[in-house]
A and B are shown apart, each in its own frame.
Chain A
Amino acid sequence: DIQMTQSPSSLSASVGDGVTITCRASQSISSYLNWYQQKPGKAPNLLIYAASSLQSGVPSRFSGSGSGTDFTLTISSLQPEDFATYYCQQSYSTFRTFGQGTKVEIK
């Protein structure tokens, strides 16, 4: 199976800060990488698909980049509603796998 490793596991930031989360795959997954946001008690919500495509309705402050094994999710200016846990997921392999999550907390 393809292992997905996110870093950092958690971070503290202030409203207005820029934030970058990294996801690394254990083998090349081309651009088959998706990002989700999850708030407590809620289901994950799709933010970015195919590494860099913004899901409809998602604010433009979210962006994704990368291909192969290394990917990033960037939030250009954190808003109060962005404090949540973020997960990457690969869809290259039929056996889908997720990263362990990155929790973005208020500083």
Chain B
Amino acid sequence: QVQLQESGPGLVKPSQTLSLTCTVSGDSISSGGYYWSWIRQYPGKGLEWFGYIDYSGSTDYNPSLKSRVTISLDTSKNQFSLKLSSVTAADTAVYYCAREGRHGPGYLDYWGQGTLVTVSS
């Protein structure tokens, strides 16, 4: 059974960098079959895709966030991470990590439970 679990600070100060890690169990992120994704959800509202990384470290990002986002891999720990720089209150959201198949229609079949990050001084 594949499981994903987000971890990281729940409170970040404005202008600082938000850093989250997703730990994957039940699958190897270096196996090559999947993209490892980050998505966020504003309180009570819709979903925004950040981007993804594949087993080789190749990434694709949301163009509107690209200047502030970095997604990276740590295959030794079977983890991938999100860094979002220069945060403001508008970045307050629940952050999810998820898995997407690299071959085929491209759907998110496993998600973490989500972690709320609040940006406030």
Contact = CB atoms under 8 A, between A and B. Distances in A.
Interface of A: 1, 31-32, 34, 36, 42-46, 49-50, 53, 55, 87, 89, 91, 94-101
B108 interface: yes
Contacts of A1: 63-64
Contacts of B104: 50
A55 B49 CA distance: 21
Contacts of B62: 95
Contacts of A45: 111
Contacts of B46: 87, 98-101
A43 B112 contact: yes
Contacts, number: 62
B53 to A, nearest CB: 13
A31 B46 CA distance: 22
Interface string B82-121: 0000000000000010101000111111011110000000
B108 A44 contact: yes
Contacts of B98: 43
Contacts of B63: 1, 95
Given A94-B60, A100-B46, A89 B108 contact: yes
A95 to B, nearest CB: 6
Contacts of B105: 31-32, 34, 49-50, 53, 91
Contacts of A32: 105-106
5 cross-chain pairs, A with B, having the tightest CB-CB distances, nearest first: A91-B106, A43-B111, A49-B107, A50-B105, A96-B49
